[in-house]
Structure 1
């Protein structure tokens, strides 16, 4: 399986994990003013961790030296994700406020996550999972 296909599959799985987590969270916080924001944050965290595990092992074949190195790598991964999360959240909230339905909010989330994952691969390759040889060659 090609790298692009694997990455796309993992992005789809992480997106599904994110959106399912959001739906469960919305059910748990039903009728709360802040429910959507809690759901988005919870879904983001679940998707972030799932994607980290998959990317580290199957996309970048990256091995950490120890637990501390793994935490540092995850923090770099999460940092690159902070910027792409803004894109995702802007799309999701933008569609929700423009159209006001669950279906349109989900469509916005999928579009935002797709754009974010496209960019995130490039950021992670350069920063989170870079090796000494990669950074030396730019």
Structure 2
């Protein structure tokens, strides 16, 4: 139960970082493709935040060196491709249907929540398998 609560807390922190980075990005740049750019920026920020938290507190992973850490991060990103597609699909779907930034962010939060549930299972099985 403690693991579920901790993982949920970290998912909320990464979601806040993602949505916050998106909002900041759209405030800084409002030109063509600003929404797509903001989603890319938010995804990158959220990914790094979640990786740092997950590897230390959820999976208790300690890299042998920088190369080992980079390899693990690459696996982590690879497992995130499917979940990122879910997150983006829901966020862009909400943007298309409702047409407001607020509802786009709601869609982003829903998509991230779904994605994080799936991502935990993928990370445990394929990324941090010897640490889980």
TM-score higher than 0.5? yes
1:87 shift after superposition? 0.3
Asked if 1:3 is matched to 2:3, the reply is yes
Runs of 4+ in 1 over 4 A off after TM superposition: none
1:82 shift after superposition? 1.1
1:5 shift after superposition? 0.2
1:83 shift after superposition? 1.0
Distance in 2 (alpha carbons) for counterparts of 1:9 and 1:131: 23
1:22 shift after superposition? 0.3
Aligned to 1:72: 71
Greater relative contact order (CA < 8 Å, ≥ 6 in sequence) = 2
Distance in 1 (alpha carbons) for counterparts of 2:56 and 2:15: 18
**Count of aligned residue pairs for this structure pair:** 132
> What are the equivalent positions in structure 2 for 1:102-121 lying under 5 Å apart?
102-121=101-120
- Show structure 1 runs of 5+ residues with no match: none
The normalised TM-score by structure 1 is 0.92
Distance in 2 (alpha carbons) for counterparts of 1:44 and 1:59: 20
Kindly name which structure, 1 or 2, has the bigger radius of gyration based on alpha carbons.
1
The normalised TM-score by structure 2 is 0.97
Write the deviation string for residues 13-57 of structure 1: whole angstroms up to 9, x where unpaired: 000000000001001111x12000110000000000000000000
Aligned to 1:28: 28
Distance in 2 (alpha carbons) for counterparts of 1:62 and 1:130: 10
1:76 shift after superposition? 0.2
1:128 shift after superposition? 1.1
- Show structure 2 runs of 5+ residues with no match: none
Q: Secondary structure at the match of 1:54?
A: helix
Q: Secondary structure at the match of 1:83?
A: helix
